Amino acid sequence: MTTLITNIGELVTNDPEADDPLGIVEQAALLIDGRTIAWVGRADEAPAADQQVDAGGRAVLPGFVDSHSHLVFAGDRAPEFAARMAGEPYAAGGIRTTVAATRAATDEQLTAHVARLVQEMRRQGTTTVEIKSGYGLTVHDEARSLAVARQFTEETTFLGAHVVPDGDADEYVALVTGPMLEAAAPHARWVDAFCETGAFDADQARTVLGAGVAAGLRPRLHANQLGHGPGVRLAAELGLTAVDHCTYLTDDDVAALRDSGTIATLLPGVEFSTRQPYPDARSLLDAGVAIALASDCNPGSCFTSSMPLCIALAVREMGMTPAEAVAAATAGGAAALGRDDVGALVPGRRADLVVLDAPTHVHLAYRPGVPLVAQTWVEGRPA
Ligand SMILES: [Zn+2]
Protein backbone atom coordinates (compact mmCIF):
# COMPACT_ATOMS: atom_id res chain seq x y z
CA MET A 1 0.00 0.00 0.00
CA THR A 2 1.52 3.33 -1.08
CA THR A 3 0.35 6.78 0.00
CA LEU A 4 1.38 10.02 -1.66
CA ILE A 5 1.19 13.13 0.53
CA THR A 6 1.17 15.94 -1.99
CA ASN A 7 0.67 19.71 -2.19
CA ILE A 8 3.14 20.19 0.68
CA GLY A 9 4.05 23.90 0.75
CA GLU A 10 7.31 23.31 2.63
CA LEU A 11 8.79 19.87 3.26
CA VAL A 12 11.56 19.71 5.88
CA THR A 13 13.53 16.57 5.01
CA ASN A 14 16.70 17.00 7.14
CA ASP A 15 18.42 15.33 4.18
CA PRO A 16 22.10 15.17 5.19
CA GLU A 17 23.05 15.50 1.50
CA ALA A 18 21.13 18.78 1.00
CA ASP A 19 22.72 22.21 0.77
CA ASP A 20 20.59 23.90 3.44
CA PRO A 21 20.55 22.48 6.98
CA LEU A 22 16.87 21.44 6.93
CA GLY A 23 16.92 20.07 3.37
CA ILE A 24 13.78 22.02 2.51
CA VAL A 25 11.81 21.15 -0.65
CA GLU A 26 9.02 23.54 -1.66
CA GLN A 27 5.85 22.50 -3.53
CA ALA A 28 6.76 19.00 -2.47
CA ALA A 29 5.34 15.50 -2.23
CA LEU A 30 6.33 12.46 -0.24
CA LEU A 31 5.61 8.80 -1.04
CA ILE A 32 5.09 6.32 1.80
CA ASP A 33 5.32 2.58 1.13
CA GLY A 34 4.02 0.70 4.16
CA ARG A 35 5.90 2.08 7.14
CA THR A 36 8.74 3.85 5.37
CA ILE A 37 9.48 6.75 3.07
CA ALA A 38 9.91 5.59 -0.52
CA TRP A 39 10.41 8.89 -2.36
CA VAL A 40 10.53 12.67 -1.73
CA GLY A 41 10.70 15.48 -4.24
CA ARG A 42 8.74 18.10 -6.13
CA ALA A 43 5.00 17.44 -6.35
CA ASP A 44 4.96 17.80 -10.13
CA GLU A 45 7.48 14.95 -10.41
CA ALA A 46 5.76 12.59 -7.97
CA PRO A 47 5.20 8.92 -8.85
CA ALA A 48 1.75 7.31 -8.83
CA ALA A 49 0.38 5.88 -5.57
CA ASP A 50 -2.51 3.74 -4.31
CA GLN A 51 -3.93 6.71 -2.43
CA GLN A 52 -3.27 10.42 -2.23
CA VAL A 53 -3.49 12.93 0.64
CA ASP A 54 -3.60 16.68 -0.03
CA ALA A 55 -1.59 18.66 2.52
CA GLY A 56 -3.25 21.89 1.37
CA GLY A 57 -0.01 23.82 1.00
CA ARG A 58 0.93 23.31 4.63
CA ALA A 59 4.37 22.45 6.05
CA VAL A 60 5.41 18.85 6.72
CA LEU A 61 8.39 17.97 8.88
CA PRO A 62 9.91 14.91 10.52
CA GLY A 63 8.17 13.85 13.72
CA PHE A 64 9.84 15.20 16.85
CA VAL A 65 12.31 12.88 18.56
CA ASP A 66 12.06 13.58 22.29
CA SER A 67 15.24 11.97 23.61
CA HIS A 68 14.70 12.75 27.31
CA SER A 69 11.59 12.19 29.42
CA HIS A 70 10.54 10.75 32.76
CA LEU A 71 6.97 9.63 32.13
CA VAL A 72 6.71 6.72 34.58
CA PHE A 73 5.49 8.31 37.80
CA ALA A 74 2.45 8.93 39.94
CA GLY A 75 1.37 11.94 41.95
CA ASP A 76 1.30 15.65 41.32
CA ARG A 77 3.70 18.40 42.35
CA ALA A 78 1.66 21.44 41.42
CA PRO A 79 1.93 22.84 44.98
CA GLU A 80 5.74 22.59 44.79
CA PHE A 81 5.66 24.44 41.44
CA ALA A 82 3.45 27.15 42.91
CA ALA A 83 5.80 27.50 45.88
CA ARG A 84 8.77 27.75 43.52
CA MET A 85 7.04 30.49 41.57
CA ALA A 86 6.54 32.21 44.92
CA GLY A 87 10.29 32.22 45.45
CA GLU A 88 11.43 28.83 46.79
CA PRO A 89 14.45 27.33 44.94
CA TYR A 90 14.39 23.99 43.05
CA ALA A 91 16.44 21.22 44.68
CA ALA A 92 17.09 17.63 43.58
CA GLY A 93 15.44 16.24 46.75
CA GLY A 94 11.90 17.01 45.52
CA ILE A 95 12.17 13.79 43.53
CA ARG A 96 11.49 11.85 46.74
CA THR A 97 7.87 12.99 46.91
CA THR A 98 7.26 11.46 43.48
CA VAL A 99 9.08 8.29 44.54
CA ALA A 100 6.61 7.72 47.39
CA ALA A 101 3.60 8.16 45.09
CA THR A 102 5.10 5.96 42.36
CA ARG A 103 5.82 3.09 44.76
CA ALA A 104 2.23 3.27 45.98
CA ALA A 105 0.74 3.11 42.46
CA THR A 106 -0.25 -0.13 40.73
CA ASP A 107 1.25 -1.22 37.40
CA GLU A 108 -2.12 -0.48 35.78
CA GLN A 109 -2.18 3.06 37.18
CA LEU A 110 1.39 3.73 36.00
CA THR A 111 0.64 2.29 32.54
CA ALA A 112 -2.53 4.37 32.14
CA HIS A 113 -0.64 7.50 33.16
CA VAL A 114 2.18 6.90 30.67
CA ALA A 115 -0.39 6.17 27.94
CA ARG A 116 -2.07 9.50 28.59
CA LEU A 117 1.23 11.40 28.42
CA VAL A 118 2.41 9.59 25.28
CA GLN A 119 -0.90 10.44 23.63
CA GLU A 120 -0.45 14.07 24.71
CA MET A 121 3.01 14.02 23.07
CA ARG A 122 1.63 12.50 19.85
CA ARG A 123 -0.91 15.30 19.56
CA GLN A 124 2.03 17.72 19.70
CA GLY A 125 4.05 15.96 17.02
CA THR A 126 6.35 13.64 18.97
CA THR A 127 6.84 10.32 17.17
CA THR A 128 9.79 8.88 19.12
CA VAL A 129 10.15 9.24 22.87
CA GLU A 130 12.77 8.06 25.33
CA ILE A 131 11.38 7.17 28.77
CA LYS A 132 13.42 6.80 31.96
CA SER A 133 12.77 4.99 35.20
CA GLY A 134 13.99 6.71 38.35
CA TYR A 135 10.97 7.17 40.60
CA GLY A 136 10.98 3.60 41.95
CA LEU A 137 14.49 3.38 43.41
CA THR A 138 13.99 -0.18 44.68
CA VAL A 139 14.81 -3.34 42.71
CA HIS A 140 11.12 -4.13 42.23
CA ASP A 141 9.94 -0.59 41.45
CA GLU A 142 12.71 0.23 38.98
CA ALA A 143 12.17 -3.03 37.09
CA ARG A 144 8.41 -2.56 36.87
CA SER A 145 8.79 1.11 35.87
CA LEU A 146 10.93 0.01 32.92
CA ALA A 147 8.53 -2.80 32.02
CA VAL A 148 5.76 -0.18 31.88
CA ALA A 149 7.91 2.15 29.74
CA ARG A 150 8.79 -0.70 27.33
CA GLN A 151 5.14 -0.99 26.34
CA PHE A 152 5.47 2.45 24.72
CA THR A 153 9.04 2.72 23.37
CA GLU A 154 12.25 0.84 22.62
CA GLU A 155 14.15 3.81 24.07
CA THR A 156 13.98 2.94 27.76
CA THR A 157 16.58 4.16 30.25
CA PHE A 158 17.46 2.74 33.66
CA LEU A 159 17.86 5.71 36.01
CA GLY A 160 18.14 3.98 39.37
CA ALA A 161 20.85 6.59 40.09
CA HIS A 162 18.35 9.45 40.08
CA VAL A 163 18.65 10.36 43.75
CA VAL A 164 19.66 8.47 46.90
CA PRO A 165 16.27 7.52 48.41
CA ASP A 166 17.59 7.15 51.97
CA GLY A 167 20.68 5.97 53.84
CA ASP A 168 24.25 5.84 52.63
CA ALA A 169 25.05 6.89 49.05
CA ASP A 170 27.77 4.30 48.44
CA GLU A 171 25.54 1.49 49.73
CA TYR A 172 22.80 2.69 47.39
CA VAL A 173 25.23 2.75 44.44
CA ALA A 174 26.09 -0.89 45.27
CA LEU A 175 22.38 -1.74 45.10
CA VAL A 176 21.96 0.16 41.80
CA THR A 177 24.94 -1.53 40.16
CA GLY A 178 24.06 -4.97 41.57
CA PRO A 179 20.57 -6.43 42.02
CA MET A 180 18.72 -3.37 40.67
CA LEU A 181 20.70 -3.32 37.42
CA GLU A 182 20.22 -7.05 37.02
CA ALA A 183 16.43 -6.67 37.34
CA ALA A 184 16.28 -3.54 35.17
CA ALA A 185 18.62 -4.46 32.30
CA PRO A 186 16.23 -6.79 30.44
CA HIS A 187 13.77 -3.88 30.06
CA ALA A 188 16.30 -1.11 29.27
CA ARG A 189 18.41 0.07 26.35
CA TRP A 190 20.25 2.84 28.22
CA VAL A 191 21.75 3.51 31.66
CA ASP A 192 21.78 7.01 33.11
CA ALA A 193 22.80 8.83 36.30
CA PHE A 194 22.04 12.25 37.79
CA CYS A 195 25.53 13.70 38.33
CA GLU A 196 24.81 16.76 40.44
CA THR A 197 25.35 18.16 43.93
CA GLY A 198 22.64 16.53 46.04
CA ALA A 199 22.50 13.47 43.79
CA PHE A 200 25.61 11.52 42.63
CA ASP A 201 29.24 12.66 42.32
CA ALA A 202 31.46 11.91 39.33
CA ASP A 203 32.99 8.74 40.81
CA GLN A 204 29.57 7.33 41.64
CA ALA A 205 28.22 8.24 38.21
CA ARG A 206 31.23 6.60 36.56
CA THR A 207 30.62 3.44 38.60
CA VAL A 208 26.94 3.31 37.65
CA LEU A 209 27.57 3.85 33.93
CA GLY A 210 30.43 1.33 33.92
CA ALA A 211 28.22 -1.33 35.49
CA GLY A 212 25.44 -0.57 33.02
CA VAL A 213 27.79 -0.89 30.06
CA ALA A 214 29.04 -4.22 31.43
CA ALA A 215 25.39 -5.34 31.51
CA GLY A 216 24.95 -4.43 27.83
CA LEU A 217 23.33 -0.99 28.22
CA ARG A 218 24.40 2.22 26.49
CA PRO A 219 25.43 5.11 28.78
CA ARG A 220 24.02 8.65 28.99
CA LEU A 221 24.15 11.26 31.75
CA HIS A 222 22.29 14.13 33.44
CA ALA A 223 24.93 16.78 34.09
CA ASN A 224 25.54 20.45 34.91
CA GLN A 225 21.85 21.27 35.45
CA LEU A 226 21.94 23.06 38.80
CA GLY A 227 25.51 24.35 38.76
CA HIS A 228 29.03 23.83 37.45
CA GLY A 229 30.36 20.35 38.03
CA PRO A 230 32.33 17.42 36.63
CA GLY A 231 29.47 15.67 34.78
CA VAL A 232 29.92 17.13 31.30
CA ARG A 233 33.65 16.47 31.33
CA LEU A 234 32.99 12.90 32.50
CA ALA A 235 30.54 12.44 29.62
CA ALA A 236 33.12 13.71 27.14
CA GLU A 237 35.86 11.55 28.64
CA LEU A 238 33.64 8.45 28.35
CA GLY A 239 32.71 9.42 24.77
CA LEU A 240 28.97 9.33 25.48
CA THR A 241 26.60 9.81 22.56
CA ALA A 242 24.84 12.61 24.46
CA VAL A 243 24.90 14.43 27.78
CA ASP A 244 21.75 16.10 29.00
CA HIS A 245 21.04 19.54 30.55
CA CYS A 246 24.42 21.35 30.04
CA THR A 247 23.05 24.52 31.64
CA TYR A 248 26.21 25.57 33.50
CA LEU A 249 29.27 25.13 31.27
CA THR A 250 32.82 26.43 31.44
CA ASP A 251 34.92 27.03 28.32
CA ASP A 252 36.73 23.77 29.15
CA ASP A 253 33.41 21.90 29.23
CA VAL A 254 32.48 23.26 25.80
CA ALA A 255 35.89 22.33 24.40
CA ALA A 256 35.57 18.83 25.84
CA LEU A 257 32.17 18.35 24.17
CA ARG A 258 33.52 19.62 20.86
CA ASP A 259 36.53 17.30 21.01
CA SER A 260 34.54 14.20 22.01
CA GLY A 261 31.68 14.80 19.58
CA THR A 262 29.22 14.28 22.45
CA ILE A 263 25.82 15.84 21.69
CA ALA A 264 24.56 18.43 24.20
CA THR A 265 20.89 17.71 24.85
CA LEU A 266 19.30 20.95 26.02
CA LEU A 267 16.02 20.94 27.95
CA PRO A 268 14.75 24.53 28.01
CA GLY A 269 11.41 23.56 29.53
CA VAL A 270 13.36 22.98 32.75
CA GLU A 271 14.77 26.48 32.86
CA PHE A 272 11.33 27.85 31.98
CA SER A 273 9.74 25.90 34.84
CA THR A 274 12.44 26.57 37.44
CA ARG A 275 13.31 30.16 36.51
CA GLN A 276 16.95 29.24 36.07
CA PRO A 277 19.18 30.77 33.41
CA TYR A 278 18.93 28.99 30.03
CA PRO A 279 21.87 27.04 28.55
CA ASP A 280 23.93 29.02 26.05
CA ALA A 281 23.02 27.15 22.87
CA ARG A 282 24.54 29.84 20.67
CA SER A 283 28.07 29.45 22.03
CA LEU A 284 27.78 25.64 21.89
CA LEU A 285 26.75 25.79 18.22
CA ASP A 286 29.41 28.37 17.42
CA ALA A 287 32.00 26.09 19.06
CA GLY A 288 30.91 23.21 16.83
CA VAL A 289 28.98 21.19 19.43
CA ALA A 290 25.90 19.37 18.10
CA ILE A 291 22.64 20.04 19.96
CA ALA A 292 19.49 18.05 20.60
CA LEU A 293 16.35 19.54 22.13
CA ALA A 294 14.12 17.44 24.38
CA SER A 295 11.26 18.00 26.80
CA ASP A 296 12.54 16.37 30.03
CA CYS A 297 8.83 15.87 30.77
CA ASN A 298 8.73 15.05 34.51
CA PRO A 299 6.54 15.96 37.47
CA GLY A 300 9.09 18.12 39.30
CA SER A 301 11.33 20.41 37.29
CA CYS A 302 9.41 20.51 34.00
CA PHE A 303 5.94 19.14 33.40
CA THR A 304 5.60 19.97 29.72
CA SER A 305 5.34 17.32 27.01
CA SER A 306 5.51 19.91 24.23
CA MET A 307 8.38 19.87 21.76
CA PRO A 308 6.89 22.94 20.00
CA LEU A 309 7.25 24.83 23.30
CA CYS A 310 10.88 23.68 23.57
CA ILE A 311 11.54 24.90 20.02
CA ALA A 312 9.98 28.29 20.77
CA LEU A 313 12.03 28.64 23.98
CA ALA A 314 15.24 27.60 22.22
CA VAL A 315 14.70 30.32 19.64
CA ARG A 316 13.50 33.04 21.98
CA GLU A 317 15.76 32.37 24.98
CA MET A 318 18.79 30.42 23.76
CA GLY A 319 19.89 32.20 20.60
CA MET A 320 18.98 29.43 18.16
CA THR A 321 17.47 30.12 14.76
CA PRO A 322 14.11 28.44 13.99
CA ALA A 323 15.92 26.12 11.56
CA GLU A 324 18.52 25.15 14.16
CA ALA A 325 15.84 24.48 16.77
CA VAL A 326 13.71 22.34 14.45
CA ALA A 327 16.81 20.37 13.40
CA ALA A 328 17.75 19.84 17.06
CA ALA A 329 14.23 18.62 17.91
CA THR A 330 14.19 16.09 15.04
CA ALA A 331 17.55 14.98 13.59
CA GLY A 332 19.32 16.09 16.80
CA GLY A 333 17.12 13.91 18.99
CA ALA A 334 17.60 10.96 16.65
CA ALA A 335 21.38 11.36 16.82
CA ALA A 336 21.23 11.64 20.62
CA LEU A 337 19.52 8.24 20.66
CA GLY A 338 21.93 6.80 18.11
CA ARG A 339 19.05 6.26 15.67
CA ASP A 340 19.42 6.40 11.89
CA ASP A 341 15.86 5.29 11.06
CA VAL A 342 14.06 8.41 12.36
CA GLY A 343 14.66 12.18 12.42
CA ALA A 344 14.65 12.74 8.64
CA LEU A 345 12.20 12.35 5.76
CA VAL A 346 14.36 10.63 3.17
CA PRO A 347 13.88 7.27 1.42
CA GLY A 348 14.38 4.33 3.74
CA ARG A 349 13.53 6.14 6.97
CA ARG A 350 10.42 5.53 9.02
CA ALA A 351 7.42 7.53 7.80
CA ASP A 352 7.12 9.48 11.06
CA LEU A 353 5.99 13.01 10.28
CA VAL A 354 4.08 16.07 11.34
CA VAL A 355 1.66 18.15 9.26
CA LEU A 356 1.62 21.70 10.59
CA ASP A 357 -1.34 24.04 10.34
CA ALA A 358 1.18 26.58 9.02
CA PRO A 359 3.05 27.31 5.81
CA THR A 360 6.55 26.94 7.31
CA HIS A 361 8.45 25.43 10.26
CA VAL A 362 9.25 29.00 11.36
CA HIS A 363 5.72 29.27 12.78
CA LEU A 364 6.70 26.84 15.57
CA ALA A 365 8.68 29.71 17.10
CA TYR A 366 6.79 32.62 15.52
CA ARG A 367 3.44 31.47 16.99
CA PRO A 368 4.39 30.13 20.45
CA GLY A 369 1.67 28.40 22.44
CA VAL A 370 -0.56 27.85 19.41
CA PRO A 371 -1.55 24.21 18.69
CA LEU A 372 -0.06 24.08 15.17
CA VAL A 373 0.26 20.29 14.83
CA ALA A 374 -2.61 19.28 12.55
CA GLN A 375 -1.63 15.61 12.16
CA THR A 376 1.04 13.27 13.46
CA TRP A 377 1.88 10.20 11.34
CA VAL A 378 3.69 7.26 12.90
CA GLU A 379 5.15 4.52 10.69
CA GLY A 380 3.12 5.56 7.69
CA ARG A 381 -0.28 6.10 9.34
CA PRO A 382 -2.04 9.03 11.00
CA ALA A 383 -1.71 8.45 14.76
ZN1 LIG B 1 15.90 14.24 33.25
Distance 68 CA to ligand 1 centre (A): 6
Alpha-carbon span 305 to 189, nearest angstrom: 22
Distance 28 CA to ligand 1 centre (A): 37
pLDDT average, residue stretch 326-333:
98
Distance 382 CA to ligand 1 centre (A): 29
Distance 27 CA to ligand 1 centre (A): 39
142 has pLDDT over 90 = yes
Distance 5 CA to ligand 1 centre (A): 36
Distance 221 CA to ligand 1 centre (A): 9
Alpha-carbon span 238 to 225, nearest angstrom: 19
Distance 229 CA to ligand 1 centre (A): 16
95 has pLDDT over 90 = no
pTM for the complete prediction?
Answer: 0.97
Distance 34 CA to ligand 1 centre (A): 34
Alpha-carbon span 365 to 183, nearest angstrom: 42
Distance 311 CA to ligand 1 centre (A): 18
The pLDDT tens digits for 203-250 are 999 999 999 999 999 999 999 999 999 999 999 999 999 999 999 999
Distance 376 CA to ligand 1 centre (A): 25
For the chain, give the mean pLDDT.
Answer: 96
Alpha-carbon span 216 to 158, nearest angstrom: 12
Alpha-carbon span 307 to 64, nearest angstrom: 7
- Sort strands 291-293 and 353-356 into parallel, antiparallel or unpaired: unpaired
Q: pLDDT band for position 127 (50/70/90)?
A: very high
96 has pLDDT over 90 = no
Distance 134 CA to ligand 1 centre (A): 9
Q: Which residues surround ligand 1, an ion (CB under 5 A)?
A: 296
Q: Are 92 and 226 in contact (CB under 8 A)?
A: yes
The residue type found at 237 is E
Distance 198 CA to ligand 1 centre (A): 15
Alpha-carbon span 236 to 90, nearest angstrom: 27
Q: Are 281 and 319 in contact (CB under 8 A)?
A: yes
| pLDDT score of 90 | 64
| pLDDT score of 94 | 76
Three-state secondary structure string covering the chain = CEEEEEEEEEEECCCCCCCCCCCEEEEEEEEEECCEEEEEEEHHHCCCCCEEEECCCCEEEECEEECCECCCCCCCCHHHHHHHHCCCCCCHHHHHHHHHHHHHCCHHHHHHHHHHHHHHHHHCCEEEECEECCCCCCHHHHHHHHHHHHCCCCCEEEEEECCCCCCCHHHHHHHHHHHHHHHHHHHCCEEEEEECCCCECHHHHHHHHHHHHHCCCEECEEECCCCCCCHHHHHHHCCCCEEEECCCCCHHHHHHHHHHCCEEEECHHHHHHHCCCCCCHHHHHHCCCCEEECCCEECCCECCCCHHHHHHHHHHHHCCCHHHHHHHHCHHHHHHCCCCCCCCCCCCCECCEEEECCCCCCHHHHCCCCCCEEEEEECCEEC
Distance 35 CA to ligand 1 centre (A): 30
The pLDDT tens digits for 1-47 are 999 999 999 999 999 999 888 999 999 999 999 999 999 999 999 99
293 has pLDDT over 90 = yes
92 has pLDDT over 70 = no
The pLDDT tens digits for 184-202 are 999 999 999 999 998 999 9
Distance 194 CA to ligand 1 centre (A): 8
